[in-house]
Amino acid sequence: MIRRPRRLRATKAIRNLVRETKLQKEDLIYPLFIVDGENIKREIPSMEGVYHFSVDMLEDEIKELVELGIEHVLLFGVPDDNKKDCCGSEAYNDNGALQQGIRKIKEVAPEMDVICDVCMCEYTSHGHCGILTEGGYVDNDKTLEYLSKIAVSYAKAGADMVAPSDMMDGRIGALRNALDENGYETVAIMAYSAKYASAFYGPFRDAANSAPAFGDRKTYQMDPANSNEAMVEADLDIEEGADIIMVKPALSYLDIIRRFKDNYDLPIAAYNVSGEYSMLKQAVKQGLLSEDAIYEAVMSIKRAGATIIITYFAKDLAKVIDMKK
């Protein structure tokens, strides 16, 4: 007897009925870049359709996200160069652009889930993710003190969640202790547990003006060749109190997403990063791929096991998801 799996592909209704993986708007987190200044909505040259926003220009963007059904944003602060210093002090300025942005978003859309990236590379004059020793090495434990101050400042401004992306050892425990000690027990932590030293971050460094002034980040971000190390990092983050664990990038690390899904009960996030975004955008723009490739690529992240997807495609996907209903 011939087995006939095609019976369940015969019509669109049947295909919808038996579809194993469904991408939903509720799965998506949309990144936003907040800059100093006024009246700024400036497209990022290497990321078509993605913008820098000054705080006064956020309202329309947030209203659009609400109308599209996007419930979550991930914020990055991009200060002016003259505000950068060796310890990233603008990151924990309670009246900094990002902190003002949090308050503005909560004013416009109180129900919007506001997540803040916690790192120092956008804020330091040297572009590294922490405090440097005299020899130019990132001082892990000293950096934890500053990351904690940043997280508390974001929580004070109204953030619902913080997402440390620095890859310092012990950062989740340090942030959890700092938040709890300051009365922010309800602020969750989404850990960049497996953040690889990837070549796919190029456009982001343009967006965040965060390229290191010297060297690279291979002494703290993970080697792309390693898989077991990701499990070690996730184990440590969970032990220290992470509420969500993340893999970054996503498309080149679907195997790591799958390992996380198979081994942990926590929500699994994946960051569909800037290089992945720009690569697909350009392929579609040049007619090499149809726009369906975007949906297919992000679906692969969900299929691999991610329950949460951070993506610059969120607005595009929200419209497609509505059309597919």
The answer to whether 281 is a known catalytic residue is: no
**Residue 97 is part of a domain; what is its CATH number?**
3.20.20.70
Token pair recorded at residue 265: 């009960």
Is 209 inside a domain boundary? yes
The answer to whether 324 is a known catalytic residue is: no
Instruction: Kindly give the pairing relationship between strand 308-311 and strand 28-35.
Output: parallel
Helix (H) or strand (E) holding 244: strand 244-248
Is 146 inside a domain boundary? yes
Residue 180: domain span: 23-324
| pLDDT tops 90 at residue 126 | no
pLDDT at 231: 98
Is 1 inside a domain boundary? no
Question: For the stretch 305-314, what's the b/e string if a residue is b when 16 or more beta carbons lie within 10 angstroms of its beta carbon?
Answer: bbebbbbbbb
Query: Cα-flanking dihedrals φ and ψ of residue 195, to 5°?
Result: -105, 115
State how many domains the chain has: 1
Is 60 inside a domain boundary? yes
Mean pLDDT of 82-91: 87
| pLDDT tops 70 at residue 325 | no
On whether the CB atoms of residues 148 and 194 are closer than 8 A, the answer is: no
| pLDDT tops 70 at residue 86 | yes
Is 102 inside a domain boundary? yes
Question: For the stretch 265-289, what's the b/e string if a residue is b when 16 or more beta carbons lie within 10 angstroms of its beta carbon?
Answer: ebbbbbbbbbbbbbebbeebeeeeb
Mean pLDDT of 61-78: 97
Does 134 or 56 have the greater pLDDT score? 56
Is 245 inside a domain boundary? yes
Q: Which of these is catalytic: 248, 315, 324, 325?
A: 248
| pLDDT tops 70 at residue 204 | yes
On whether the CB atoms of residues 137 and 98 are closer than 8 A, the answer is: no
pLDDT at 208: 62
pLDDT at 218: 77
The confidence band for 324, taking pLDDT boundaries of 50, 70 and 90, is confident
Q: Which of these is catalytic: 195, 218, 315, 324?
A: 195
Is 72 inside a domain boundary? yes
Question: For the stretch 129-158, what's the b/e string if a residue is b when 16 or more beta carbons lie within 10 angstroms of its beta carbon?
Answer: bbbbeeeeebebeebbebbbbbbbbbbbbb
Instruction: Kindly give the pairing relationship between strand 41-44 and strand 47-54.
Output: antiparallel
The confidence band for 142, taking pLDDT boundaries of 50, 70 and 90, is very high
Is 308 inside a domain boundary? yes
Token pair recorded at residue 73: 């944003």
The confidence band for 210, taking pLDDT boundaries of 50, 70 and 90, is low
